[in-house]
Amino acid sequence: MRIANVKGRLKLVIGDGAVDVAKASNARFDASPHAIYDRFDEFKQWAATIETADEAFAAQDAGPPSPFPTQVFAIGLNYVDHAAESGFQPPTKPVVFTKYVSAFSGPVSDVVLPQGSVDWEIEVVAVIGTIANAVPVERGWDFVAGLTAGQDISERELQRSGPAPQFGLGKSFAGFAPMGPVLVTPDEFDNADDLALGCAVNGETMQSGQTRDMIFSVPTLVSYLSNVVTLYPGDLIFTGTPPGVGMGRTPPRYLHAGDRLHSWIEGIGDLHQHCVERR
Ligand code: ZN
């Protein structure tokens, strides 16, 4: 199953088209994409009975699939070669920080560049579908509603400032968390643990990786986090980025006004960000 948030309404995405969930279900399910994660299993069963789309789906009208999560987790240094380009040994435990909800946008957006060094990080974003406490690794996927594509856009100077750097603010300027275009349930993938992902700036490929190279897999992250905190339906986990960020290049390369950042994840879709100058 694929779902999307189109102008604040929940849509079931079928082929190139869509179905408005509140209308098609006679308001059994709310129009708000936010509400669906509390009833995700019931919703999936209903959605399986809907076979044909009756309206167009345009990614440029989409918003983030889970627009108001209770919590947002992001994982740093989760690919060996990205840890290396960042100057670190591979972590032995997940490196966890947050991005703030005010940074969210849909999959097609303008990003106003703040002062500093703005960088790209394509990531699989896992959305929680069932309340999770102390989940064993082997059951981790059972608590995931689905996956979407996300960019963990990062202003490196603020991210790395201070005696004990706190990543959250440097990764949370407005528009620094584009997501979408759809949420895809794990059963839709041939192998949800091995997806190709990458990004390009102005057509030049910068990142190209496979999620099988993650140090901590999606189920491992669900297990690790849920052994400390409760995970709620709709919560997000940005799962970390493969190598090829601008900070790790020689010389470093960052985003400038006019740049076009194109990101993709196999089986999910594409993100398109246009960088614009701050006025
Ligand atoms: Zn990241």
Can you give the residue ranges of every domain in the chain? 2-57, 63-277
Which pairs with CB-CB distance under 8 Å and at least 24 residues apart come from 21-28? 21/47, 24/50, 24/54
Neighbours of 138 (CB within 10 A): 9
Q: Taking the CA of residue 163 as centre, how many other CA atoms within 13 Å lie in the half-sphere pointing to its CB?
A: 0
What is this structure's pTM? 0.98
Whose tokens are 């918003």? That residue is 63
Divide the 279 residues of the chain into consecutive groups of 10 and give the mean pLDDT of each group. Answer: 98 97 98 96 97 96 98 97 92 97 98 97 98 98 98 97 92 98 98 98 98 98 98 98 96 98 98 94
100 Cα: distance to centroid of ligand 1 (angstroms): 13
Pairing of strands 104-105, 177-184: parallel
Q: What is the tally of helices (H) and strands (E) in the chain?
A: 5, 19
Tokens standing for residue 190: 């041939």
187 Cα: distance to centroid of ligand 1 (angstroms): 25
Query: Which pLDDT belongs to residue 278?
Result: 87
101 Cα: distance to centroid of ligand 1 (angstroms): 15
98 Cα: distance to centroid of ligand 1 (angstroms): 10
Neighbours of 263 (CB within 10 A): 25
74 Cα: distance to centroid of ligand 1 (angstroms): 6
270 Cα: distance to centroid of ligand 1 (angstroms): 17
112 closest CA partner among 47, 178, 63:
178
Q: Per-residue DSSP letters for 156-173?
A: HHHHT-SSS---TGGG-S
In sequence order, the 6+-apart residues with CB closer than 8 A to the CB of 193 are 211, 212, 217, 218
Q: Please state, in angstroms and rounded to a whole number, the distance separating the CA atoms of residues 177 and 53.
A: 29
Q: Please state, in angstroms and rounded to a whole number, the distance separating the CA atoms of residues 223 and 219.
A: 6
Q: Please state, in angstroms and rounded to a whole number, the distance separating the CA atoms of residues 271 and 279.
A: 24
* Fold of the domain built from segment(s) 63-277: Fumarylacetoacetate hydrolase; domain 2 (3.90.850)
Longest dimension (CA), the chain: 57
